[in-house]
Amino acid sequence: MQNIRSISFGELLDFLKINGEKPYRAGQIYDWLWKYCVSSFEQMNNLSQNLRELLANNFFIDSAKIIAQQISNDKTIKVVFELIDKKIVEGVIIPSEKRVTACISSQVGCALGCKFCATGTLGFSRDLSVGEIYEQAFKLSQLSNEQYNIPLTNIVFMGMGEPLLNYKNVIGAISFLTSQKGMGLSSKRITISTSGIPAQIK
């Protein structure tokens, strides 16, 4: 079974055509996956039951759910996400007078072992997918709205992992974060923090 958020719009379109579905359904499904970030096909309530079952029988959604959160005295919120394989990553929402910044993860653990970083002591487990990276930001923005009445204004890749060692998926997630089909953020409001991977720095 394939992760539906790992296939392109064109691949989704081909799948639907092969199975006798109308092409416009691809746009509806993409909206559910990226604009609304649903965690199950049953939530796609403008699709027929047959189509939802077809999707569920062929794909899964790599959702990341919030299982714990802690609010500090300065209103910073630390969040724990559980991934579909039960692995854990962390994110943080940092409010300030003029902005709300989300710090998100790019990997489960980290292979670099930097002395100043607690994540380095965990070792490396795996890269996060495009969907898992994106969903952290999406859900932190929802939480920001709930807590501060304002969505995220900025994102920084300073959570678990080295972003440039998961370059393809980080860039893929950013493409949805900045797309009007996703969160529609300005690319100027996204920062990648790195320990320094020369091959990926341009």
For the segment 15-45, what is each residue's pLDDT rounded down to a tens digit?
Answer: 999 999 999 999 999 999 999 999 999 999 9
DSSP assignment of 37-77, as one string? Answer: --SSGGG-TTS-HHHHHHHHHHEE----EEEEEEE-TTS-E
2-60 adopts what CATH topology? DNA polymerase; domain 1 (1.10.150)
Q: How confident is the model at residue 193 (pLDDT cuts 50, 70, 90)?
A: confident
Q: pLDDT tens, 142-159?
A: 999 999 999 999 999 998
Q: What is residue 64's predicted lDDT score, i.e. its pLDDT? A: 94
Is pLDDT of 100 > 90? yes
pTM for this structure? 0.89
Q: Do the domains spanning 2-60 and 65-200 agree at the CATH topology level?
A: no
Q: What is residue 109's predicted lDDT score, i.e. its pLDDT? A: 82
Look up residue 20 and give its two tokens: 């006798």
Domain boundaries, the chain: 2-60, 65-200
Look up residue 53 and give its two tokens: 């079952």
CATH class of 65-200: alpha beta
Question: Within 13 Å and on the Cβ side, how many CA atoms surround 9?
Answer: 12
Instruction: Measure the CA angle with vertex 172, ends 180 and 142; round to 5°.
Output: 55
